[in-house]
Amino acid sequence: MRLSGNIERIIDSMPSLPITVAKITEITKNPSSTPADLNKVITLDPVLTAKVLKLVNSAYYGISNGVTSIVKAIILLGLNTIKNLAVSTAILGTMKTKGKTSTLDMDGFWRHCLAVGVTSRSIAVKIGIDPKLREEFFIAGMLHDIGKIVINEHFAAQYLQIIQSADSKRVSLWKEESAVFDIDHAGTGKLIADKWSLTQSLAEVISFHHRPLESSQENRTLVTAVAAADMFCVENATGFAGNRTPDILSDESWKTLGLIEEDLFGIEETINEEIMKASIFLTMGG
Ligand SMILES: [Fe+2]
Ligand SMILES: [Fe+2]
């Protein structure tokens, strides 16, 4: 079944991200930007300002003194983290669907996404990623399967069949999507990333999290960490986003991370608590 044309049209007609988000991305791409520049753009949008402050003051960050200004938040958490918060808040606001008929249970879906987010961040910690860059691992993990939302909402009946046949054949869901349609959820997600001009690193995670060896050298570690986290969360059935058959990570990918699979075992113990703290992100929609 040829779907890619339909999906392109659907994504074309999706709302744009708020203009503030484009400005934020612009600022963080410019190496000479200062915290004051970012502060100026965010504070022009009072709703966004309130959301970012709510996240910064949540148990997720565990900063004990109340943070009441964006400038202070940028100093404490870094330009990059605040940018990620603003962008992901806008994306979740647009993607969190409003109870349309669908095949996937969205609570299970978002639990999978949060689980992959917190696991990716734990991997970042394990492999010694700079604290200011770790948040990107969480956000990338949380958004990796965003393409599924579109397929799930617009092709619910076909998706149910694909999920069931992937399950009975014990193949990873994206392979069955590709076999039945001419596009999988990673390709669908890539169209969304293009439409919204998401950063190259996010676009690569969304496109290549099932084929990390195809990502660029520059983003290979991030993409591979999300791929490992996805495998781990599918194996442990933390949440459910339609796939029960994990993609096995290649030796080369483990080498990229400098880890072996056993290194992830300890993560299981803390994941539920981490998911609970991170679930505040899901209240950011609307
Ligand atoms: Fe996926
Ligand atoms: Fe996934």
Percent of the chain with pLDDT over 90: 66
**Span from the CA of 212 to the centroid of ligand 2 (angstroms):** 13
**Span from the CA of 285 to the centroid of ligand 1 (angstroms):** 22
Question: What is the domain range of residue 240?
Answer: 4-14+98-284
Which positions of the chain have pLDDT values less than 70?
97-101, 285-286
* 58 lies in some domain: no
**Span from the CA of 268 to the centroid of ligand 2 (angstroms):** 17
Range 19-27, long-range pairs (CB < 8 A, 24+ positions): 20/44, 20/45, 20/48, 20/86, 20/90, 21/86, 21/87, 21/90, 21/196, 22/197, 24/83, 24/86, 24/87, 25/83, 25/87, 25/197, 25/199, 27/83
* 197 lies in some domain: yes
* 32 lies in some domain: no
Domains contained in the chain, number: 1
**Span from the CA of 28 to the centroid of ligand 1 (angstroms):** 27
**Span from the CA of 186 to the centroid of ligand 2 (angstroms):** 10
Question: Does the predicted TM-score (pTM) go above 0.85?
Answer: yes
* 71 lies in some domain: no
**Span from the CA of 55 to the centroid of ligand 2 (angstroms):** 24
Q: What pLDDT was estimated at residue 89?
A: 86
**Span from the CA of 277 to the centroid of ligand 1 (angstroms):** 23
**Span from the CA of 112 to the centroid of ligand 2 (angstroms):** 7
Which ligand is nearest the CA of 211, by number? 1
Q: What pLDDT was estimated at residue 79?
A: 86
Structure tokens that stand for 10 in this block: 């659907």
**Span from the CA of 67 to the centroid of ligand 2 (angstroms):** 33
Q: What pLDDT was estimated at residue 64?
A: 75
* 129 lies in some domain: yes
Q: What pLDDT was estimated at residue 204?
A: 98
* 25 lies in some domain: no
* 28 lies in some domain: no
* pLDDT, tens digit, 9 for 90 and up, residues 76-88: 888 888 888 888 8
Q: The domain spanning residue 132 has which CATH number?
A: 1.10.3210.10
* 130 lies in some domain: yes
**Span from the CA of 149 to the centroid of ligand 2 (angstroms):** 12
